[in-house]
Amino acid sequence: MANGITLGNELTESAEHEPWYRSPFRLFQTNLLEPDADMDVEKVLDFIEDMGCNVWLVNGGGILSFYPTRLEHQTRNPYLDRRPSGDLFGDAVEAGHRRGIRVMARMDFSKVNQAVADRHPDWLFVRPDGRRQAAEGQVSVDPSGDYYQEKLLEVVDEMIDRYPLDGFFFNRAGFNEFDYAMHYHGVSQSEASKRGFAAFSGGQQLPTGPESPNYDLWRAYCAKVVGDLWVRISAHIKTRRPDVALLRSDDVIFFEANNKMGRPFWPHHVNEQVSAYRTQRPDRPVLCHCVTFVDMPYRIASEQPEHFAQHQIQGLSRGANISAYIMGVPGEIEYPSLEVGREIMRFHRDNQDVYHGLVPAAHVGLVRPNMLAMSLDRHREAQEEFRGLYEALQQAHVPFDVVPAEGLDDMRANGGLGRYSVLVLADLGPLPAEAVTALDTFVERGGRLVVTGRSGFDAKDRAQLARMPAVRVTETTTDPDALKSVYVTERPVEEGRYYFAPLSPVFGAHLRVEAAPGAEGRLVFLPQAPYGPPEKCYGHAADGTPGFWLDASGKVALIPWTVGRSYHELGLTTLRDIIVDVTLSLLGDDEPVQADLEEHVEMTLQRRGSDLVVHLINLSGARRKNYGPPIRTRGGTLRLAGAADGTTARALISGSPCPAVRDGDALVFSLPELNRFEVLLIEAK
């Protein structure tokens, strides 16, 4: 009901049809300021349609209700008095549906106003020193408490009863260790958190911060509380309105693409995250929610347009739906990044059929470490290993998908691992039993593994995988000083002073192992020798330790050092070559797609039925902190082995066919010059 009148929703699907969010869509979010309650919804919808979007995410309730709520724990926006209807959200739903635009409600239950906080202190976040956490008169709450666990559903019911809305988004459902200014407040000591953590941990003491012994266990508790909450909310909504989408659930995976201040710039941030979501469950839609401003402390300043473009392009390249997210009413705050956003979202609109039903198509899976399975310090090391491996494969144009380590068992069960010929394990450390089963089954069915660093060894240094070319770890070196002047090479040193390229430095961690029966060593490990003063820089002597091991079946390669971390830190092509050569030797001829491209071009592969969809992304604009203007780049060629006569490739950005020549059983397509990105649709006629 809007303005007291029940609205019909011609956009609601019948039970026989697939939910609306299963088809490609483009979303526009207006994150409204308090005085924006009087905005002209028709003008906003004009803007949204011009952007190429068909979904509007607009403020509903939570911190401030943009509709006339009757709930005592909700705060009605006083600026609604300026609207004739007194109901912004209702007006938005009615006007949007009249134009065929879906309307979703943005909700934020992270805070309540001071009056509500005083009436319900048991809902609140409690600092270790007993104080509340507050910002601009709003007091933070604890997700373990009844406000999230119970009262949230009352708001959902009130809105579903009133409006034929199309979905919900719940913002900032976290445990509020940090405030908006990124000041640290510790672990909430509310009675609800104490009870919840005690039940979760078997009675252990609730930590107060990262220095506490149980902090990593508390992180797992937080993930469970929030995950269970989404499941409950989704189930509740589906009993009321099966057609309503819930972002951050199995309906639509939500990922915010931003350039967070203080976070080291990672040029592949969006590509990595979206790939991990899509790889585990390709049938689940992903929304890549693209922020048009710099970051939370500078919400009014536009993001660099080229960087915003990368958010959207990288999301598209892995099959995500894309969005644009602004503060306020369109036009009142100028965001130049919206210009390029309009161009990209219109492209998605005009080629929507190409993006329907995409499935990851690479034959290599790069397994990403699970943050919750290790300490934060240990995860930082594993993340560097992962990123170095990512960079090596990307620059060599070996097509790959990101596989989340926590999703291995799920992908074993749903058949997702069967898409891959090779999995690369990025210094994962000890594996849970279900991951061991998934990987052993993968190898039994013909898959191959590249294992780096400490992946697949348990807490007692014993090998966990059946085909691991090592039985156990005999020595682990992680001391940076002990690894200086340590190398891997192809040929031993002669007379202690004749060295032969390539020589690759070992950085991060190195393991000595007891080889499994039949394992074969490759490359040469050079233990430490002096590296100063210059007159004493010689004397390396190989001791029989190889640079990597291959098991007797030739299916599992163990690189017992952090070769990816070494590459990420040092950037030497010799290190990249080790990663790529080992991966390609196990891959063999299983990957039909090969590309001759500049190394700053990232290539992703997706399938749409029998068609292949290839995205080429120009990363040449990468700078220290963000992306600037790209350099126009030669198109190069794409080789497709086993391609039948009549197979065609069309470049959708340039709008031109790609000429092809036959080379044996392959077709080689010439590609157009690349500006920001290109999309190739390859069809077998």
Residues 466 and 337 in one domain: no
| Residues 412 and 460 placed together within one structural domain of the fold | yes
455/326 same-domain check: no
pLDDT at 420: 99
Q: Which two tokens stand for residue 653?
A: 């950005």
Inside any domain, residue 518 = yes
Q: Is 486 within a domain?
A: yes
pLDDT, one tens digit per residue, over 157-175 is: 999 999 999 999 999 778 9
- pLDDT tens for each residue of 67-90: 999 999 999 999 999 999 999 999
Per the domain annotation, does 7 fall within a domain? no
Position 182 confidence tier, pLDDT thresholds 50, 70, 90:
confident
206 found inside a domain: no
Same structural domain, 516 and 476:
yes
DSSP letter for each residue of 450-491: EEETTTTB-TTSBB-STT-SEEEEEEEE--HHHHTT-EEESS
Cα separation, 15 vs 633, in Å, equals 49
Cα–Cα distance measured from residue 317 to residue 313, given in angstroms and rounded to the nearest whole number: 6
Question: Domain containing 409 — which CATH number?
Answer: 3.40.50.880
Strand ranges, E, within 100-208: 102-108, 111-113, 134-135, 138-140, 167-171
The answer to whether residue 465 scores a pLDDT higher than 50 is yes
Query: pLDDT (tens digit, 9 = 90+) per residue, 359-394?
Result: 999 999 999 999 999 999 999 999 999 999 999 999
Q: Are residues 437 and 369 in the same domain?
A: yes
Indicate the average pLDDT of the chain: 96
170 and 295 in a single domain? The answer is yes
Neighbours of 524 (CB within 10 A): 21
Asked if residue 207 belongs to a domain, the reply is no
pLDDT level of residue 8 (50, 70, 90 thresholds) = very low
Whether residues 314 and 408 share a domain: the answer is no
Residues 378 and 322 in one domain: no
Give the pLDDT confidence of 420-458 residue by residue, as tens digits: 999 999 999 999 999 999 999 999 999 999 999 999 999
pLDDT tens digit sequence for 616-640: 999 999 999 999 999 999 999 999 9
In a domain, 1, yes or no: no
Q: Under 8 Å CB-to-CB from 662, ≥6 apart: which residues?
A: 645, 668
**Mean pLDDT across the stretch 83-100?**
99
Same structural domain for residues 459 and 562? yes
Mark which of 337, 354, 371 sits at the end of a domain: 354
496 pLDDT tier (thresholds 50, 70, 90)? confident
SS3 of 363-397: the string is CEEEEECCHHHCCHHHHHHHHHHHHHHHHHHHHCC
Check whether residue 599 and residue 573 sit in a common domain. no
What is the pLDDT at residue 174? Answer: 87
Please write the tens of the pLDDT for every residue from 624-682: 999 999 999 999 999 999 999 999 999 999 999 999 999 999 999 999 999 999 999 99
Q: What is the CATH number of the domain that holds 598?
A: 2.60.40.1180
| Domain stop point among 524, 553, 587 | 587
Residue 582 shares a structural domain with residue 644: no
CA dihedral 401, 404, 407, 411 (to 10 degrees): 10
Q: Does residue 378 lie in a domain region?
A: yes
Domain count, the chain: 3
Residue 190 falls inside a structural domain: no
Query: Is 581 in the same domain as 603?
Result: no
Structural domain of residue 662, as residue ranges? 593-683
CB atoms within 10 A of CB 317: 25
Query: For residue 170, what is the domain's CATH number?
Result: 3.20.20.80
Give 392-403 pLDDT, tens digit per residue: 999 999 999 999
Using the 3D structure, point to which of 298, 320, 354 is the last residue of a domain. Answer: 354
With beta carbons less than 8 A apart as the criterion, state whether 363 and 590 touch.
Answer: yes
